[in-house]
Amino acid sequence: MACPAMNDRLRALLASLLAFDTTSRASNLALIQFIDDYLTDRGVTTQWLHDDSGKKANLYARLGPDDAGGVMLSGHTDVVPVEGQNWSVPPFALTERDGRCYGRGSADMKGFIACVLASLDDFLQQPLRMPLHLAFSYDEEVGCLGVRSLIAMLNASAAKPAMCIVGEPTGMQPVYGHKGKRAVRCRVQGLACHSAYTHQGVNAIHYAGRLIAHLLHQETALKQRDERFKPPYSTLQVGTIQGGTALNIVPETCQFDVEWRTLPDTDAQILYDSVRHFAEAELMPEMQRIDPSCNIVFQPLSDYPGLLTDPQTDVARWLAQWSGQDDFTTVAFGTEGGLFNETGIAILVCGPGSMEQGHKADEFVSVEQLERCMSMLKNLCQWMAVTAGNARSDYRLTLLRGKLQPTVKCHPGRLRQGDAGRGIVGQHRQHARHVAFGRRHAMQGITSAKQYQVSGFNGQLSDRLLFIQHGCHARIIHLARIGIPQIFHILKPPAAGWFLHQ
Model pLDDT for residues 286-339, shown as the tens digit of each residue: 999 999 999 999 999 999 999 999 999 889 999 999 999 999 999 989 999 999
The model's pLDDT over 419-449, given as tens digits with 9 standing for 90+, comes to 333 222 233 332 322 222 222 222 233 333 3
Q: Which of 305, 297, 20, 256 is nearest to 143 (CA)?
A: 305
Is 204 or 477 the better-scoring residue by pLDDT? 204
pLDDT in tens, 234-285: 999 999 999 999 999 999 999 999 999 999 999 999 999 999 999 999 999 9
Q: How many CB atoms lie within 10 A of CB 466?
A: 23
Residue 167 to residues 207, 337, 370, Cα–Cα distance (Å): 43, 10, 11
Secondary element (H or E) of residue 152: helix 147-155
Query: Considering the chain, what percentage of its residues have pLDDT values greater than 70?
Result: 76
Helix, strand counts (H, E) of the chain: 12, 22
Active-site residue 226, yes or no?
no
Strand spans (E) along 171-223: 175-178, 180-189
> Which position among 21, 140, 168, 463 bears the catalytic label?
140
Pair 314, 383: CB distance under 8 Å = no
Residues 6+ apart with CB under 8 A from 298: 184, 185, 186, 187, 272, 275, 276, 279
Percentage helix, strand, coil for the chain under 3-state DSSP, each rounded to 5: 30, 30, 45
Q: Which amino acid is at 343?
A: T
Domain 180-302 class? alpha beta
386 pLDDT band, cuts 50/70/90, is confident
Told to judge if 140 belongs to the known catalytic residues of this protein, a careful annotator would answer yes
Catalytic residue among 36, 78, 141, 168: 78
Fold of 8-177+306-383: Aminopeptidase (3.40.630)
Mean predicted lDDT score pLDDT of the chain: 81
Helix (H, G, I), strand (E, B) or coil at 422: strand
- What are the sequence ranges of the domains in the chain? 8-177+306-383, 180-302, 402-496
In whole angstroms, give the CA distance from residue 228 to residue 205: 38
> CB-side exposure of 127: number of CA atoms within 13 Å?
11
Amino acid found at 86:
N
CB distance 109 to 116 below 8 Å: no
Which conformational region is residue 310 in: left (phi greater than 0), alpha (psi within -120 to 50 degrees), or beta? beta
User: Which SS3 state, helix, strand or coil, does residue 306 take?
Assistant: coil
Report the DSSP beta bridge partners of residue 488: 476
Strand, helix or coil at 312? coil
Q: Please, are residues 359 and 332 in contact by the beta-carbon 8 Å criterion?
A: no
Q: What whole-number distance in Å separates Cα of residue 459 and Cα of residue 411? A: 12
